Every structure is written in C-alpha cells, then in structure tokens.
Amino acid sequence: MSQHTVQKRLTAPDIRARKNMAPIVSLTSYHAHTAAIADKYVDFLLVGDSLGMVMHGFETTLPVPLELMIMHGRAVTRGARHALVVVDMPFGSYEESPAQAFRNAAKVMKETECGAIKIEGGLRMAETIKFLSERGIPVMAHIGLTPQSINVFGGFKTQGRERAQWAAIEADAVAVTEAGAFAVVLEAVAEPLAAKITKMIDIPTIGIGASASCDGQILVMEDMLGLSPRVPKFVKEFGEVGKAIEKAIASYADDVRTRAFPLPENTYDVKD
Ligand code: KIV
C-alpha cells in the first residue's frame, strides 16, 4: 500500500492558539498560483478586499462586490493546501445586521470553502462577531484604520497618533475579543498603542503598519513583492517583481519586433 503524508490545513483555532507563541506569518493572496507559492511559508492567507484596488484598479475597496470576493476566494482555496484561508467580507455585505452578515458569510464559506471570514469594525461589530462565531463562522476582526470607512476617516490615516484616541481603539480590541473573534488585524495603529493592545488582549494581533511586537504580521503581497506602483510608507519591499516583469515584457517585445522570436528548433517541423 502506498503511503503519503496528508498535510493538514491550519484552522482558526490553530491561529488562535498562537498567542504569545512563534510569530504568525500571513500575506494577502488573490490567485491560485500566488497562493500555491506562499502556502509553503505562511500560516494564513487573506483574500483581502484590497484586491479591488490592487487587481481591479478601484480607488478604494468600497465598490468590491461579494461575488468578486467569492471568485478570488475559490482561486486561493484551490491554490493553497496548508494555510488557513480567510476571506474578507466586502463593504455593504455585513454591516446592516447580524442576520445579513450570517447570510453572506455562510455563502462565502460554502462557495469558497475558506476557513474563516474577516470583517472591519470593533465595538460596533461586536454583536455581529458574537452572532457569527456562535453559529459556526470563525471571525477575524479588523480595527484601527479600516479602509471601508475611508470616507469617515477622510483618508488613509494612522490611528492612535494622539493619546486621546487610544481609549476608543483599546475598547474596540477588548470588544472583538470578548465577542469571540479568533484574531484581530491592527492596521496603521501607532506603535506603542499596538504593542499595548497586544499585551492587553488574549487573542493574536496581526499587525499591518502597526508594531513588530504584534503576534503576527500581514502585508499585501503585491506591495511586499515590489509590484504595486504606490505602497504605504510602512511597507518593506522584499522584491522587485514590477521591474522584473517590465524587463521581461520589453525583451519579448524586442524579440517580436526584430523577428527574433525564439521557438525551440523543430517545434513545428512539417513532415513530407
Ligand atoms: O484587504 C486587505 O488586504 C486587508 C489587509 C490589508 C489586512 O484587509
């Protein structure tokens, strides 16, 4: 009988159990092929609604429809075998009521086979987080800078720069923890506040432009690869993929124009 190792996919409780343990590694992913590559190195992949800006050229994440999240979510669950796949709930698909959130989150989970969903908002979403978690839907929360509220914030601004803002953000972190979220993304939260929240709550904090002391980190994959035309200040580019793509395309165009288009010898030999 042949023997092969079946690699178990990580679950929301596995991520939850990583509080105060080895840092959690995560990235966004929107496609099967990048998911397959990243899968070897990350604990979870987030199908973020940032795909609206990164892949589809929208100015904000607000226009992203649920169906688009489902389509990209399916691609990522097909590509990744080991990482937990978390799918973002887009703007307008969950804020109205816990019932609306359950209906749409259940659709996302059924159709993508992801292991969890993410929603933006702290205290104001606590009732929804509790409702979903108690009904079989693991929820990753997202507080600090929540891009779906960009029109309320008036821009992509760091949160907690002024100490007067701290209490509200701390209350958000406590509320999502008590409501049953298995982890919480802290986006663009001032470093000392992110470090304080990480010590304060007993679920993992996942930082993006927050603090190195968070329990894990996430970046938009295209940003860290050097593929995005503009990146937030806090992003370290680990590659120059944009430049590599341009160089390859320029060289292809050159080959075509000079009729040097290379085909391996005998590719299309005609037999008499
Ligand atoms: O949509 C997204 O990519 C996100 C991450 C930036 C956390 O929410």
Q: Residues 177-189: pLDDT tens digits? A: 999 999 999 999 9
Q: Is residue 270 part of a domain?
A: no
Determine the structural domain holding residue 162 and report its residue range. 12-240
Question: Residue with the nearest Cα to atom 8 of ligand 1?
Answer: 48
Residue from 25, 46, 86, 186 to probe ligand 1 pocket by mutation (most atoms less than 8 Å from CB) = 46
Å from CA of 185 to ligand 1 middle: 9
What pTM, to 2 d.p., does this model score? 0.94
Does 174 reside within a domain?
yes
User: How many domains does the chain contain in total?
Assistant: 1
Closest CA to 127 of 180, 199, 58: 180
CATH number at residue 165: 3.20.20.60
171 within domain boundaries: yes
Does residue 6 lie in a domain region? no
Q: Catalytic site residues?
A: 187
Q: Has residue 2 got a pLDDT over 80?
A: no
**Residue at 269 is within a domain:** no
The reply to whether 127 falls in a domain is yes
Alpha carbons within 13 A on the beta-carbon side of 99: 0
Confidence check: pLDDT of 1 > 50: no
Angle at Cα 41 formed by Cα 142 and Cα 189, nearest 5°?
25
Burial class of residue 1, CB neighbours in 10 A (0-12, 13-18, 19+): exposed
The answer, yes or no, to whether residue 3 has pLDDT greater than 70, is: no
Strands 205-208 and 44-47: unpaired
pLDDT for residue 5 is more than 70 = no
Residue 201 lies in a domain: yes
pLDDT in tens, 126-148: 999 999 999 999 999 999 999 99
- List the alpha helices (DSSP H) in the chain: 12-16, 32-38, 51-54, 66-79, 98-112, 126-133, 150-153, 166-179, 191-200, 221-224, 241-257
Going from the C-alpha of 239 to that of each of 162, 222, 226, the distances in angstroms are 34, 10, 5
Q: Is residue 255 part of a domain?
A: no
